[in-house]
Amino acid sequence: MIRLQIPGEQNSRVSKIVILYKEEDMMSLNIFLYLSLAAWRLASLVANEDGPWMMFKRFRQRAEQWCQQYRFCRELGLYELVTCEWCNSIWIGVGLTALYLWIGETIFYLALPFALSTVTIIIKYVVQLLQTAQQLLDNMDRSQK
């Protein structure tokens, strides 16, 4: 239970706000981080990559066909919802949250492969950045000699 005293309101009828929660309903920081990494990876897959068996590319093509065919799809911008990772990450986050509420921390085992993939991508970009910096320093050394 969290109790929050409102400053200067000790004598009023509403002197505190009480928020009740069960300890088991709280998401651990580890699960939050794994789900965050997984959500980013899934959003990136849907918006930018072909995926296994070209499934994400075909999904984007189908969304584009739908939006060319149906006016409501164009007006709601549903194609952009699929192709924009900032947009689809919200809905992916909603889905992962609902799944967490339904199956609890078991979601860790579903999110882990996507989270690990995200970490691998981050490591790749860090290594590329370091290699580029090293090449730049090497070129500067050569030009000074």
Domains of the chain, by residue range, sit at 30-135
The CA distances from residue 16 to 6, 8, 19, 131, in Å, are 6, 11, 10, 56
Give the DSSP per-residue string, 23-91: GGGSPPHHHHHHHHHHHHHHHHHHHH---GGGHHHHHHHHHHHHHHH-HHHHHHTHHHHHH-HHHHHHH
What residues pair up with 5 in beta bridges, in sequence order? 16
Q: What pLDDT was estimated at residue 2?
A: 47
Q: What pLDDT was estimated at residue 107?
A: 93
Q: How many CB atoms lie within 10 A of CB 11?
A: 6
Q: What pLDDT was estimated at residue 27?
A: 81
- The residues of the chain scoring below 50 in pLDDT are 1-4
Q: What pLDDT was estimated at residue 75?
A: 87
Q: Do the beta carbons of residue 93 and residue 39 sit within 8 Å?
A: yes
- Which pTM does this prediction carry? 0.72
Q: What pLDDT was estimated at residue 6?
A: 52
Q: Which of 87, 114, 86, 84 is nearest to 99 (CA)?
A: 114
Distance (Å, rounded) from C-alpha 108 to C-alpha 77? 32
